[in-house]
Chain A
Amino acid sequence: MTDHHAGNEAYYVPHDSKLPVWLALGLIMFMYGFGSSLNANADGSDASTFLTWAGFGVIGVTLYVWFSTVIKENHAGLASAQLKRSYVWGMGWFIFSEVMFFAAFFGALYYVRNFAVPWLGGEGEKGMAGQYLWPSFSPEWATGTNPSEYRPGPAETMAAPALGSSWLSYLPFWNTAILLFSSFTIHWAHTGLKAGKRAMLTGWLAFTVLLGIIFLFLQVEEYIHAYEALGLTLESGIYGSTFFILTGFHGFHVTLGTFMLAMCLVRVLRGHFSPEDHFGFEACSWYWHFVDVVWMGLFIFVYIF
């Protein structure tokens, strides 16, 4: 009945696994610990910090073992074409769910810019709010001021300068260029992989990882600048809130993507992936393209307009 190396239509049903429970346990340890640390605020209890990191460790180890198992099964030829299709669907819809996560923040940005801030500034159908409650608030975006004087706004925002040579000194412009370029480099790496040109694969993949790291480095630079020079912080009102939550979660995803690509690089160096069979690589590259597209959205809606 069990035909081990059957053809295309074979099913693969893995046997019992300790991994899922451990991952669930790691997640709850992490979340509970992190939650307690946040609540403890000032006194920062040691137990919760420990729990957070222990959870993190459990998650890390479990994921490592999990992925190794999948890779091993793959190498043993256990993964059927069907299972691989399931991975493809899985990754595709996972990315879609990430898109919707960002959609919530983009939606928030859209709402505050087109409704809340104008209303608070006395404009539009519900401008009574501004006229009656916040007479001195001006609704210009990006907001340098806030309705309440108790919440100091930033001295300056991250808005793009007028088109021209000043763009050369505008960091987000360079970040855009870097990420856009990295979409090409990862594509070239993929081309190399499919053509069996390992050097091309290794080279462009490594270069993509490097671009990812540079992007992150510049982003940190920019945050420091925002916090120290501009007074643009999470606390400086709705402009800062939307700016940091969007760029922050994007940066977090770039970090993840870079890490994923770095893992791919390690696997490439170990001789994994074949021209025909490399979904692990493809999934990471999809993810990278997704991170790129989100950035384009950010650059247009957060920085330029």
Chain B
Amino acid sequence: MSAVIEAHHDDHDHGPAKGITRWLYTTNHKDIGSMYLWFSFIMFLVGGVMALVIRAELFQPGLQFVEPALFNQMTTNHGLIMVFGAIMPAFVGLANWMVPLMIGAPDMALPRMNNLSFWILPFAFGMLLSTLFMESGGPNFGWTFYAPLSTTYAPDSVTYFIFAVHLAGASSIMGAINIIATILNMRAPGMTLMKMPMFVWTWLITAYLLIAVMPVLAGAVTMMLFDIHFGTSFFDASGGGDPVLFQHVFWFFGHPEVYIMILPAFGIVSHIISTFSRKPLFGYDSMVYATSSIAFLSFIVWAHHMFTVGMPLAGELFFMYATMLIAVPTGVKVFNWVSTMWRGSMTFETPMLFALAFIFLFTIGGFSGLMLAIAPADFQYHDTYFVVAHFHYVLVSGALFSIFGAVYFWLPKWTGHMYNEGLGKLHFWLSFIGVNVAFFPMHFSGLAGMPRRIPDYALQFADFNAWSTVGAFVFGISQLLFLWILVQTIRAGQKATTEVWEGSEGLEWTVPSPAPYHTFAEPPKVA
């Protein structure tokens, strides 16, 4: 017989505590999940405002709004905040909410550490943002912070930046450990590994990636710290080091990092496509193998970000071939999704729209990724807006769209309320149009020769940039609509049913909506 043991003995089904302490002291995976999600949404708005500053400055040639020094801080912090503050915590929030529900566990394996992982983040990002108000200005060396621009030539605030990365990394590692322990140890009886929902699978693999590479990032910033404050010469040729060493260490982290931001998205999309096609996911097993292959390959492709640093030819070739290979397992996933839809019975609610747009636009981003992987061609693309176009297609219309989809998909389960479908669709279409108008022209400005990370540009890039800016503002402002939809749903949405969606499949749809504060005190049996 199984049961939940409560540390305190009085009431048997206690709900959440009252007031602010509920959030400060909670050990409940749903509360912590909600906090992660809200935190990431706030960070998304903050990072988004920085993007709008960038886009406003780039609307026309010439310097209009910000000085180059501030522009660089905007670019840097936009990248950092979107990656570490918005996308990653959003996925961790979704994992917190959904993994226990999906595997029939009462909570995460280590609930107190779970709360610690979360609460580190607001402090860490508070520290990072505070650097923008310091005398020296904030980090201005790009989110990839290449040495020696980020060491010898960095503003004083770099020390706080380094420690913020340390803290965010520690938070991620703890979160990942928690997720692994939960998945491996807390599954309901009968739920074998190969019966796990795809989202759980993708997160399991993502968690391994996190544990493997976040410490390497910590190592990279630690070496920076030593070069800056303790006189070492890791990244300084005059003492026998090499600036390129920094890039190798950074990208050993950085490339798996981009898959950390896409694998959970693959999981989400698998659920949504299958639900609204009313068909089981095609090729479940091959999805698992493909995800694992992507994760494996992600460790041996890092130097495709460094084709122009002048690696020896053999290295250049190796990294080109290995990178190209990633198209194969990724293709398997795309084909499986299409086959899942094939001869299904599809409906097009908001989550499905986001999932379909994901497949469409992520694949386009994947194609441009493949073009970048061709080393000689990358000599032309590298550090131009072609790269910026590539990664916004995979990150915004990829990772971010999957998060939007996931929120619409599970919001009824979280809140017990249905969102307004009409407004949801409006949000989708505005976002879809905004994203494409903002980022598609970047392919052209990149091919035409516009470098990234510049506050001003030559006249031939003017039209593309004007379009991008218009699209960015459309996209950005439609996110305020999203905020409004969320608030509306929570406050006054219609009651949602237990199943919520007609074709829904999985344990999370067997508990009432909203999911009670404590679920699965008794582990469900999985056939």
Contacts and interface: CB of A to CB of B under 8 A. Distances in A.
Interface of A: 1-7, 9-21, 23-25, 27-28, 31-32, 34-35, 38-39, 66, 73, 78, 80, 82-83, 85-87, 89-90, 93-94, 96-105, 107-108, 111-112, 115-117, 119-120, 125-126, 129, 133-134, 143, 146-148, 150-151, 233-242, 244-245
Chain B contact surface mostly? helix
Nearest to A100: B215
A108 B185 contact: no
A33 to B, nearest CB: 10
Nearest to A150: B238
A103 B234 CA distance: 15
Contacts of A98: 215
Nearest to A83: B109
B148 to A, nearest CB: 14
Contacts of A21: 24-25, 115, 119
Interface in B292-337: 310, 312-313
B110 interface: yes
Given A2-B12, A20-B115, A129-B237, 14 more contacts: A1-B521, A6-B1, A10-B2, A14-B111, A16-B27, A32-B163, A38-B159, A38-B229, A93-B180, A93-B211, A94-B177, A99-B215, A100-B216, A133-B237
Contacts of A125: 312-313
A232 to B, nearest CB: 12
B120 interface: yes
A241 B226 contact: yes
B515 to A, nearest CB: 15
Nearest to B123: A28
A35 B12 contact: no
A18 B25 contact: yes
Contact of B110 (A86, A117, A150, A236): A86
Nearest to A89: B181
A89 B120 contact: no
A5 B3 CA distance: 9
22 contacts: A1-B3, A2-B3, A7-B1, A11-B106, A13-B4, A13-B5, A13-B107, A17-B27, A21-B115, A27-B120, A28-B120, A28-B127, A28-B167, A100-B211, A101-B219, A103-B216, A116-B237, A147-B237, A235-B231, A237-B233, A245-B222, A245-B234
Contacts of A90: 109-110, 113, 177-178, 181
Interface of B: 1-9, 12-14, 17, 21-22, 24-27, 105-107, 109-113, 115-116, 118-120, 123-124, 126-127, 156, 159-160, 162-164, 166-167, 170, 173, 176-178, 180-182, 184-186, 211-216, 218-220, 222-223, 226, 229-234, 237-242, 244-245, 248-249, 252, 310, 312-313, 518, 521, 523
Nearest to B6: A2
Contacts of B162: 35
A89 B6 contact: no
Closest 7 CB pairs of A and B: A104-B219, A238-B240, A148-B238, A235-B231, A241-B232, A20-B116, A116-B242
Nearest to A85: B185
B190 to A, nearest CB: 13
Nearest to B310: A126
Contacts of A18: 24-25
B115 to A, nearest CB: 4
A158 to B, nearest CB: 16
Contacts of A13: 4-7, 27, 106-107, 111, 518
A266 B371 CA distance: 61
A162 to B, nearest CB: 25
Contacts of A27: 120, 123, 167, 170
A249 to B, nearest CB: 8
Contacts of A120: 237, 240, 242
B112 to A, nearest CB: 5
B239 A237 contact: yes
Contacts of A101: 215-216, 218-219
Residue among B116, B126, B220 with max Cβ neighbours from chain A (10 Å): B116
Contact of A93 (B106, B160, B177, B182): B177
Contacts of B220: 104
A234 B226 contact: yes
Contact of B7 (A78, A129, A147): A78
A11 to B, nearest CB: 5
A117 to B, nearest CB: 6
Nearest to B116: A20
A2 B5 contact: yes
B119 A1 contact: no
Contacts of B237: 116, 120, 129, 133-134, 147-148
Contact of A238 (B8, B215, B216, B241): B241
Contact of B109 (A28, A34, A86): A86
A282 B312 CA distance: 46
B185 A20 contact: no
B242 A100 contact: no
Contact of B12 (A1, A93, A150, A238): A1
Contacts of A32: 127, 160, 163
B7 A73 contact: yes
B186 A82 contact: yes
A39 B156 CA distance: 7
